[in-house]
A and B are shown apart, each in its own frame.
Chain A
Amino acid sequence: MNEGDLIQLLYNDKIVEGFVVKDSKDSLVLKLKNGYNIGIEKKNAKNIKIISKSTKSEKPKFKEQKHNNNLKTIMILHCGGTIASKVDYRTGGVVSRFNPEEILDMFPELNKIANIESEFIANMWSDDLRFEHFSLIAKSVEKQIKKGVDGIIIGMGTDNLAVASAAMSFILEKIPIPVIFVGAQRSSDRGSSDAGMNLLCAAEFIAKTDFAGVALCMHSSSSDNSCFILPACKTAKLHSSRRDAFKVVNDTAIAKVNYKSNQIEFIKKDYTKRNNEKVVIKPKLENKIGLLKIHINMSPEQFKFFKNYKGLIIEGTGLGHTPGHVPNPEAAINKKIFPAIKEVIDSGCIVVMTTQCLFGRVNMNVYDKGRDLINLGVIPGEDMLANTAFVKLAWLLGNYKKDEVKYMLNDNLRGEISERTKYEEEFI
C-alpha cells in the first residue's frame, strides 16, 4: 500500500473507501471521497483492498514567457519562505514553486511589470541560516548584476528576514541596482496570503524607481492597501503573525507602494540612486560572534561563556545597562559580573552595547553603571538594533583589523546608525 492508492476497508463492519494519505505503524490516514481526511487505527481496519494504484499527478503545463525588451528584468532568488508555493491536494503538503513559469502562473500581473527570472538558492527555515548562506546569496547577486538584471527580489522566511537584509546590506558594499527582501506572514496556499501583494509591490518599486541598495518590502497595515519599502538595517519584526509585523525602528520607511494604483511615494529623499559603479561585495563574516540578552538574576557564567569569542553584542536594559552593582547582601553575586565582562574583553572579544528597548539610543554616560561598563571597555552601540549590530560586528571582523573595527562600529555605514533621533508623535 502506497501513498495515493485508493483503498477499501471494513471499519466497525462498515465499508470505508479513500486515498491513502499516510500509512504509519499503527494508524492509517485516508482522504475520503467527500474530501475529509480521517485517521483510523490499523488494528480496527479489516479486509484492506487496493482498488487502484496511485497515479502520478501530471505536471501542469505553463505558458512560455516571451522576453519583453521594453520591460526591466527582475531576478527572483529563492532562499526559503512561503512566497510561492502550491498545495498537493491529495496529501496536503505545501510545495515551493521556484520556476519563473510557476511564479508567473501564481502572479500573472508580474508579467506586465517586468521580465521575470528566477534562481534557487535554498529551501529552508530562516532560523537555519548560517553566514555561509549570505555568501551564497551575495555571490549570486554579484553574478546577476554582472549579467545585467535591473533588480533582485530575495524571497525568504520572515523570522530572520530583517537580520538577513541587514547582513546583505553590509556584504553588498557597492551595488548599482535594488535588492529587495520579500516575505509572507500568511502562507501562500491561502487566497488571502500577503505573498502576492508583497512580491508585486517589490517588483513595481524595482521597475518604476531609481532606488539602489538593499531594502525590504512588506505590508504597511493589516489591509491590502500598500506596502512599505523598509530600510534594511533599521527594521524589526515586531509581531509574530500580523501582515504588518515589520516596523521601522529609529528611522522612517523609504517609500510606500500603493497596491492597486501602483503609485509610489518616497518618504526618504536621500536614498542611493541607481548608478554605473562596479559591484563590490565583501561576503566574509566572522563566525565567533554572540548576542546576549540582559535580564534580572543573571549569573557571571552567562557572560564568561563568551570568553575567546571575537565579538559580543549585549542587548542591555534601558540606556545600556547590565547587572553588576551590589546595593545589599541579596545582590552579592552581582559583584562577580563586571569582572566576568572584563575577562571576556581581555580575552580579545569586542563587546558592544545595544538596548532591548528597541526604540531610542544607548547612552552610557547618564548613570554610574554605564560609565563603569565603558571603563571596562564596552562600546556603546548608538541606536543600532541588536541584530543589526550583530551582523555589522561579524562583517567588520570578517573584513577589517580589530582597531579599525572598533572605530567603524560607531560609523554609519549603511544607515544602521541615525545621527539624530527625530521626534515622532507616535514612535511605534
Chain B
Amino acid sequence: MDYKALGLKVGLEIHCQLETHKLFCKCPSILKEEKPDFTIKRFLRASLSELGEKDVVAEFEQEKNKYAIYEGFKENTCLVELDEAPPGKINHHALNTALQIALLLKMDVIPEIQFMRKQVLDYSNTSSFQRTALVAMNGLLNFNNKKISIQSLCLEEDAARKTLEDSEKIVYRLDRLGIPLLEIATGPDINDPEEAKKIAEYLGMMLKSTEKVKRGIGTIRQDLNVSINKGARVEIKGVQDLRSIPKVIENEVKRQLELINNGKKVQSEVRKANQDNTTNFMRPMPSSSRMYPETDVSLININKKDLLLIKLPELFTEKSLALEKKYNLSPELAYELVRQKIDLGKYIKFKLEPELITKILIEYPKDVRARNNLDISKLKENDFIEILKLVEKGIPKEAIPEMFTDILTKGKLNESKYEVVSASDIESEIKKLVEKNKALIKEKGEYSIGPLMGDVMKKYRGKVDAKKISDLIRKEIAKLS
C-alpha cells in the first residue's frame, strides 16, 4: 500500500506500569491469581442529563443494569482501592520516574501538576473515575533524523482487571487498580506502519532504561491513533504485542478504505484490538469534558531546582554502544548484556575473548534451555565463573553446553569429564586411524573425511574442537597421496 498517498497518520500511546508501590497508597503492586480474600458488591449511578457527553452515556448505557463484584486481597488492596478512603500522598518514586521520562523526551514539565478525575463508568474503577495528571507536554523525539512530537506525558492509576462478565454482573480484581502507570502520547507524525513499531520499540527501550518500569506480559500496552485522508481518527486500544502494530495499522487502513470506497462515513471512535490484529467497536471517542479536578489530592509544585536534581538514566542503546566499542562485541550481544543487566566487568578478568565470555553468559545458556528445556534462571554468578575457569584452562568450547547441563541437572561440574586432551595424543590417534583405513582413503579420497571424523569424535566429543580434528585428518590424508 502507498501509505504516503493515502495520507496515513499514526500516533502512539504507550502505557507502562512502574515498578513501585501503588500511586496513592502503600499497597504493593503485585498481581495475584489465588482465590480472593474478600469480595464487595457495588452499583454505579450517573445522572445522564448532566453528563450529556455521548461517550460517557454510551459507556454507561451498556452497564447500568449491572453490578460489580470486586475481588480483593488483604496483601495488596486497602480502603483506597475500595473507594472507602480518600487517596493518600502521591508516590514520589512514580512521580520522579515520570519526570525522568519527561526530561529524556525534552518535554515542558508542568509547574503545577493537578490530578484529575476522569470518569470511567464501566466499573473498572471503584470510584467511577481514574486519577490522572498531565505531568509534561510538548516534547520531541529525534528518531532516525525524523522529528516525532511528544504531545503529553501523564501519570495515572491503572484500572482493576476484569475476570468475568455475564448478563447481570462484572467481576473485577482490585490488585491492579492503583498501580502507577505512565502514558506517553506522540503526535500523529508517524506515516508508516513499520515506523510505528520501531518508535514504539524505542519508547519502550527508553522506559526500560529507567529500570523503574515493570517487566512481563501486560506491563506495557500500546494504543494507536490511526487516520487516512477522507477517513477519521480512530483510537485502537490494547495492542499487547509490539510486533502486531504494523498489521493492526494495515488492517485499520483497509477498513477505512473500504468504508470510503463504499461511500460511507468513517466514524471517529474507539476500537479494541483483537488477537488476530483486527478491531471491534468499543465506544465513541472520549471528550475532554469527562475530566474534573481530583480535589482530594493537592496541587504538586515542580520547581526548576527540583528538575535539576533529577538524574537522567543512560539509555540501554547508549550503554550497549559503549560495550560494543570497548569489547568489540556484536550489537546484539552488547544489547543483551545491558537488557539482562549483566555486568561484564565481573567476568572480564579471564584470559578469553570478551565475545566468548559474553556468549558463555548469554548464548550458551539460551541454547541449553532451548535444547534440554532447563530452567537457566537458576544459574548463579559463581556457576559462570567456574565454567569460565575451565574454558580458560583450555577445555574446548564444545564442552560448554555439557557443563551448563551438568550444573543444572547434577548441581555441579565434573572436571575430569571435559578433560583436555593433548594435541600429541590426538595426532597419534589420527595417524593410527588413517593407517588402518588406507584402503578406504585411497578409494574415496576427500570423501573419507566424514566417516573418519565420526570415529574420532566418538572418543573426543566435547573435549576437542571439531575443526581441529578435521584439519588434522585432512593433513594426514594429504600425506598419503
Contacts and interface: CB of A to CB of B under 8 A. Distances in A.
B7 interface: no
Q: Name which of A37, A223, A224 has the most chain B CB atoms within 10 A of its CB.
A: A37
B128 A40 contact: no
B289 A222 contact: no
Nearest to B288: A35
How many A residues are at the interface, by size bracket? 35 or more
B49 interface: yes
Interface stretch (A153-161, A191-199, A269-277, A373-381): A191-199
Output the residue of A29, A225, A241, A259 with the most chain B CB within 10 A: A241
Contacts of B43: 197, 224, 259
B291 A36 contact: yes
Interface string A24-55: 00010101111111111100100000000000
B293 A34 contact: no
A39 B299 contact: yes
Contacts of B40: 222-223
B47 A14 contact: no
A34 B116 CA distance: 12
B127 A190 contact: yes
Contacts of B299: 39
Contacts of A40: 110-112
A34 B112 contact: no
Contacts of B137: 16, 38
B194 to A, nearest CB: 28
Interface string A354-365: 000000000000
Contacts of A27: 111-112
A39 B288 contact: no
A39 B112 contact: yes
B183 to A, nearest CB: 11
B385 to A, nearest CB: 52
Contacts of B82: 222
A34 B289 CA distance: 8
A39 B114 contact: yes
Q: Give the interface SS of chain B, mostly helix, strand, loop or mixed.
A: mixed
B50 A60 contact: yes
B41 interface: yes
A126 to B, nearest CB: 18
Contacts of B289: 35, 89
A37 B47 contact: no
B134 interface: yes
B47 A38 contact: no
A186 B42 CA distance: 13
Majority secondary structure of chain A interface residues (helix, strand, loop or mixed): loop
B335 interface: no
B244 interface: no
B126 to A, nearest CB: 6
B128 A92 contact: no
Given A12-B108, A38-B113, A62 B49 contact: yes
Given A37-B116, A89-B291, A191 B79 contact: no
Interface in B21-46: 40-46
A225 B41 contact: yes
Contact of B41 (A14, A92, A223): A223
B110 A39 contact: yes
A11 interface: yes
B45 A35 contact: no
A310 interface: no
B292 interface: yes
A216 B112 CA distance: 42
A372 interface: no
B306 interface: no
Contacts of B112: 27, 29, 38-40
A192 B133 contact: no
B118 interface: yes
B83 interface: yes
Interface string B140-157: 000000000000101000
Chain A CB within 10 Å, residue with most, of B79, B113, B118, B291 = B291
A11 B108 CA distance: 9
A182 B114 CA distance: 32
A237 interface: no
B368 to A, nearest CB: 50
Nearest to B138: A14
Interface in A1-33: 11-12, 14, 16, 27, 29, 31-33
Given A36-B132, A36-B154, 5 more contacts: A12-B108, A39-B110, A106-B47, A192-B44, A222-B84
11 contacts: A32-B288, A33-B288, A38-B112, A38-B113, A39-B299, A41-B111, A94-B295, A105-B47, A190-B129, A191-B45, A191-B119
Interface of B: 40-47, 49-50, 60, 67, 79, 82-86, 108, 110-114, 116-119, 121, 126-129, 132-134, 137-138, 152, 154, 287-293, 295, 299
Interface of A: 11-12, 14, 16, 27, 29, 31-41, 44, 60, 62, 86-89, 92, 94, 105-107, 186, 189-193, 196-197, 222-225, 240-243, 259
